[in-house]
Structures are given as structure tokens and as C-alpha cells.
Amino acid sequence: MNKNLSVKNEGIAPSMTLAITAKAKKMIADGENVISFGVGEPDFKTPENIRKAAIEAIESGRTGYTAAAGLPKLKEAICEKLKKDNDLDYTPENIVVSNGAKHSLCNTFQAICNPGDEVIVAVPYWVSYPELVKLADANPVFVETLEENDFKYTKESLLEAINDKTKAILLNSPNNPTGTVYTEEELREIAEIAVENNIYIIADEIYEKLIYDGKHVSIASFGEKIKDLTIVINGMSKGYAMTGWRIGYVAAHKKIAKIMTNIQSHATSNPNTIAQYASIEGLTGSQESINEMVKAFAERRNYMVEKINSINNLSCRKPKGAFYVMINISELFGKEFNGVKILNSMELAEYLLNTVKVAAIPGAAFGSDNYIRLSYATSLENIKEGLNRIEKAVQL
């Protein structure tokens, strides 16, 4: 092949989280006893009422195309949810339903960015954020956050990063990979900066339902000025254990929503029809399954944090949301275990997988090499066994 390929897209990095998880799954398929703390996917079944709604849609023949931006009834259900949960008033013309929240994010960057625009991204970041920004011909601008500040933006760090090229601030609360949850006071400070500088806020709220300390507040709820500048990203995957159903959604100013609809109409058309009908039931039906899931996650989180902080040379902060723990591994660097010298997070992740068959995501994937990320979206039994293996692996 002597034809040039896309220079831009050749430069897109693969997802390290999916790569580690894929290797772990292959090892499991080959019969190896691997414990995976990798990809962020609830280990609970999709709730029964949602599954039944999907089956009913199939049996009744509701399997054809829908409007590109989603079923009107689903958009109405999303509007009702946003009003009830987040005190946000939207109409269906503000809503775009997509093939997962990642697709919603992709549509967002494509809709608002022009070549040379800058999007502020906090470090550590979810692995896809920088690549999605680059796909829209914009540039990610990284703002380092501090562990002692719970990995949050500060007013000073944001103001230092803003210039005349800044198009948006990416805000993920509850956060992947850190579990950080911003307080209302902190969000109001960020909103004030955005309004004063006429900068969009991309509010990724996909983990909204999974909060253990405090409560979720949507930055868009602080008044019309910030609401007009905010693009709310959410979906069904995390809170409703519907990762494979691929339903995400955006709530935004109608001009932005219209551009996204046009993009999606050519790129993918409508999201999965059956999953849309199931999502209506998810949003409007019983929410009890969420409460049960949050209770289980909280128990796992508490155990994981206590155990990690009891292991020599490892430490972590207690996350307030999502289902991840960022472990500070910097004290391990330069040390040798079972003939393997650890110099960075990737080497530690490979060592753990190869030696004790534990899959963890290297912090380098999130722009923070001093950490590895563990997900507690797995059974307490797996968590106990996996952490025991890690403890043995890093004993001198």
C-alpha cells in the first residue's frame, strides 16, 4: 500500500483501558485465573423492568428506524428526569440521544470546535477525552490537578489556562478515573469563570447516580447564562447497568443540539431503537435497583480504600463517586520485585498481570504516571482476593 492514510487519525492513540482489559479477557478465556480491576462496567444485570421493556418492544415489532436524534418519548423522559433530578428545564429540541455517552461527547466536540480551538482538560483525565478533542481538530490543554486537592480544578489553574483560543472547559463530576465529586461552591466558581470568559462547559455527568458522599449538582442549574454555555452529557450505561445497550444523551442549547442532530443523521442515524424503548422504562420506572447498586458499590469502596492504605508503599484517597480508586504507586518506583524493577505505571500494570494475574489500568493512560486505577465494579470476593495478590506482589 503506497497511498497516504489520514495523518490526523493515524495519530489517535488506542484506549489503554480497553487494551489491558482485552488482554485480561484473553487470559481468562485461556483458562487463567485473572482478577480484572480494569474497564468501568457495573457487574450487575440490567434491571428486570428494563429488560422486559426491551423484549416487549421486540415482540410488538417496534424495531425500525427512529428519528436521528432519538424517540420523542425518550426525549420527553429525559427532560422529565433532568427537571426532577437536576432542576433543569429543557424541551425535546434541546436533547440529542446518541450511541452512548462517548458518542455524545464526540458529537459535542464536532459541533462546537474549529481548528485551533482549545479545550481545557483536567489531569488525570478519562483516556478518550484528549483523542476526541483532537478528532474535532481542536487541541486539549491539560491542567494538572493535585491529589491533596482531590484532583480538582482550582480557580487559579483554570484562569492560567484560559486564553483567546479557549473554547470549552471539560468537567467530569463524579470523575473517572479519580472518583472526585465537585461541591456546589466549587461548581459555582467554575460557572462564574465560564460566564465571564464566554467559555462552554462540557459537563460529563455519566456517573451522576453513583455518589456515596455528598450529592450531585449540575453546573447548568445555576441560571440561564451558564445553562446556555453548558452541554450536559449523560446516559444509561453506568447508573442503570446498561453499558452494552449504548444509549447516551446530550442536553444543550437548541442551536448546538441542531448541529449535533445533523452530524448524527449522516454519521450513524438513530441509536438502537430497542435500547431506546428500554431506556424510557429505565428513566420512568422504578429506581430501586440503583439504590441497591450504590449500596453495594459503597461497601466495596470502603473495603478497597482501607485495604490499599494498609499495604506498604501504596496509598489512595477515598473517592466520593463513580467506582474507581486511584492508587499512588510512586513509592514503588525504583524497587525490584521478583526480579522485575518498577519504573512507571505501565511496568507495574504488566508486572501485576503477568505475575499475580491482576489487571489494573496504568495511570499513564490518564496522564498521571504515579498512579494505577482499580475499578470496584466487581464482586467483594474478587476485590479481597485481588488486593491480597497485589499486596503479595509488592512485598520486598
Q: Residue 65: what pLDDT?
A: 98
Arithmetic mean of pLDDT over the chain: 96
Collapse the DSSP code of 270 into the 3-class scheme (helix H, G, I; strand E, B; otherwise coil) and give the result: coil
Question: What's the predicted TM-score (pTM) here?
Answer: 0.96
Q: Per-residue pLDDT for 275 more than 70?
A: yes
Alpha helices in 219-373, H assignment, sequence order: 224-229, 254-267, 273-284, 288-308, 345-355
Q: Per-residue pLDDT for 106 more than 80?
A: yes
Amino acid type, 112: I
Alpha carbons 212 and 333: distance in angstroms, whole number? 32
Ordered by where they begin, the domains of the chain are: 7-45+289-393 (3.90.1150.10), 50-284 (3.40.640.10)
Alpha carbons 62 and 363: distance in angstroms, whole number? 44
Q: Which residues pair with 392 in a beta bridge?
A: none
Over pLDDT 70: what percentage of the chain? 99
Q: Do 220 and 227 meet the contact criterion of CB atoms below 8 Å apart?
A: yes
Q: Per-residue pLDDT for 240 more than 90?
A: yes
Each residue's pLDDT tens digit, 111-151: 999 999 999 999 999 999 999 999 999 999 999 999 999 99
Average pLDDT over residues 226-236: 98
Q: Per-residue pLDDT for 2 more than 70?
A: no
Each residue's pLDDT tens digit, 332-345: 999 999 999 999 99
Range in 31-40, 124-133, 232-241, 263-272 the model is least confident about = 31-40
Q: Per-residue pLDDT for 16 more than 80?
A: no
Q: Do 276 and 97 meet the contact criterion of CB atoms below 8 Å apart?
A: yes
Q: Per-residue pLDDT for 156 more than 70?
A: yes
